[in-house]
Structure 1
Amino acid sequence: MSSNFHLNEVKSMDNPDSPSEIYRNWSNLPLDVTLMILMKLGAVEILESVQFVCKMWYILCKEPSLWRTIRIHNLARARREINHEKMLFNAIDRSDGRLIDLDINRFGSDELCSYVSSRSSQLKRLRLTRCRNISADAVIQALEKLSCLEEVELSFCRFQVAKTVAIINACPSLTTFKFNKLGGFEGSYEACDEEALAIAGRMPELRHLQLIENNMTSVGLTAILDACPHLQSLELRECYELHLTPSLRKRLSEEIKDLQYSSSDSDEYSDIDYLGGHDDFEYSDDEIADYYRNKY
């Protein structure tokens, strides 16, 4: 690979008589190398600072190939003033319809959800975490338009069961589905197989399924196993109405390569509820992952 990347000599401002110092002129990097560097950065870093390094970088930061994956998390309390939604609108525009992987956390609106679905027909992976200003109806309408979706994760959601069933019905071609209701509605811990039966009825191509704080029983789980013959990975956490019989345990061990299951007899429910359910103490994804890593 040829390069016109130059090293320049400059004198120290404090001591002009000192030996020359060498600095790199980043604007002279080959374009393909610069793009590789930029691809290692996140959307927030690019939009907030990196694109302003020089004119060439500003132009390259509009290259659609940089925006095939967009990850924007509103995690730092000190930076709440950032308009994450405006930032995502900008990123979607720059992707020029080539976005395949979208991951957003703690922001969003129905308008934004609609914009994503209308401008991202190639989207394959969608992850929404604590996006409480996005309604279930907006999610349903978006999923119905995104026909290329293969993986969907909805975490810390507070959708009613009927809405969740409609969400499941809207994306029948998924290979990965993660639906996590940590800290859901108070009083919602009654046995209910509607969501599990919807998964069984609409997602026959599933390879990976993760359900946390789902109210299904062994009836719902059996229906999923019967209807999803390709299922390889199954993660069930805090499913307190699910009691595995010996025969069901045996079937899981024989059919599922990667099984993660926490018993309904767990005495640590209050810790889980505290971790996921209180707005006054919001945790980052990394903190939640660490919690589970240490717990299990």
Structure 2
Amino acid sequence: MPRRKRNTSGAAETRNWLELPTDVTASILSRLGAIHILNSAQKVCSQWRNICKDPSMWRSIDMRNLGDLQDDIVHGKMCFHAVDRSCGHLLDINIQYFGTDELLLYIAERSGHLKRLRLFSCYGISEDALCEVALKFPFLEELEIFICDISKETMETIGRSCPLLKSLKYNLEYIKSFHYVCDDDALAIAQSMPELHHLELLGNALTNVGLQAILDGCRHLEYLDLRQCFNVRLEDLEKRCVEHIKTLRHPYDSTHDSELSVDHDAGSSHEYYYPYGGISDDDDLFANGYDDNLEISGGSDSSDYIYDSSGISGSDYDE
């Protein structure tokens, strides 16, 4: 509801929000997120539609859902269109649950200056695609891969292809077994990501061998998260960690302030992580409906990337 103020005669006066400066309106709308902008905000009036089509509104794209498979295709189409809206100015993108190789390659072809990439439970993205797009992200500074297991070779390719990488969050879905031991991830990180300042490895199977390699290879490390890394025996290396790392999270520290919370089951060899802090069930993301025939526009090479058989276009949003 518009705010009301009193004029000198005492009568209520309605404030016209359309009189706000354009930059102020853009700042407000940008806080809604990509889904709300495409579904609702840009449909309010022509002024808001023009603001929502400005590439500066799409430098950061946050595409979250709660894992509803029925919404995966819809969210994917929306993300294609949001990337087109950025006109090559995209710097930060968050994809949750619905990512595919086609979408990731589309982003890479149109966002050569990307600085932050977050992939949460994107099982539709292959390691081959990750390696291919890493070569197209030379300016990437932050990478977050949640509950998507990747190989040592892929980790090394990412590190060598993204020399500016300063933050890596590689957190797994579950601890395969308390008896499972593997230092591949740690060795790959140590060998290929020397500029890291921030490293999270929740649920990793590394041992002290891997931790030693990270301490030797990542000399600029300031934050290290080893929660749920139960193969690490910090009593042997804690002194060195404390001397060189400002913030150290221990294997048995609580995960309650993490984006992944842990369901402990003493009778099982697996411990599963569950995301929290996502979009509320009360959020009506599709209050005004969404055209399931959405297609991507915005480039002669758009046909190279087909998300589904219906085609992809953004004409529904460009009227």
Scaled to the shorter chain, the TM-score interval is: 0.7 to 0.9
Q: Distance in 2 between matches of 1:154 and 1:125?
A: 11
- Please say if 1:214 is aligned against 2:209: no
Could you give the per-residue CA deviations for residues 61-113 of structure 1, whole angstroms, max 9, x where no partner exists? Answer: 01111111111101275983771111111111111111111111111110000
Q: CA RMSD in A?
A: 3.0
1:152 is aligned, of 123, 143, 151, to 143
Matches within 5 A, 1:192-231: 192-231=182-221
- Please say if 1:239 is aligned against 2:234: no
Q: Distance in 2 between matches of 1:159 and 1:188?
A: 19
Cα distance, 1:243 vs structure 2: 1.9
Instruction: Name the counterpart of 1:249.
Output: 238
Gaps of 5+ in 1: 1-6, 9-18, 277-282, 288-296
The answer to whether the 8 A contact 1:182-1:273 is kept is: no
Aligned length: 263
1:189/1:70 Cα in 2 relative to 1: closer, same or farther (>3 Å)?
Answer: farther
1:37 is aligned, of 28, 31, 35, to 28
Q: Distance in 2 between matches of 1:20 and 1:79?
A: 50
Q: Distance in 2 between matches of 1:48 and 1:273?
A: 39
The answer to whether the 8 A contact 1:232-1:258 is kept is: yes
Counterpart residue identity of residue 191, structure 2: G
Q: Distance in 2 between matches of 1:125 and 1:177?
A: 10
Instruction: Name the counterpart of 2:103.
Output: 112
SS at structure 1 position matched to 2:205: coil
Gaps of 5+ in 2: 254-262, 279-319
Matches within 5 A, 1:57-96: 57-75=48-66, 77=68, 80=71, 83-96=74-87
More helix by share: 1
Normalised TM-score (structure 2): 0.74
Q: Give identity over the alignment, percent.
A: 43
Which stretch shows the higher mean deviation, 91-100 or 155-164? 155-164
Q: Which one has the largest radius of gyration?
A: 1
Counterpart residue identity of residue 199, structure 1: I
Instruction: Name the counterpart of 1:290.
Output: none
Cα distance, 1:158 vs structure 2: 2.9
1:193/1:79 Cα in 2 relative to 1: closer, same or farther (>3 Å)?
Answer: closer
Cα distance, 1:173 vs structure 2: 2.6
1:200/1:41 Cα in 2 relative to 1: closer, same or farther (>3 Å)?
Answer: same
SS at structure 2 position matched to 1:33: helix
Matches within 5 A, 1:268-283: 269-270=264-265, 273-276=270-273, 283=274
The answer to whether the 8 A contact 1:195-1:216 is kept is: yes
1:203/1:161 Cα in 2 relative to 1: closer, same or farther (>3 Å)?
Answer: closer
Instruction: Name the counterpart of 2:46.
Output: 55
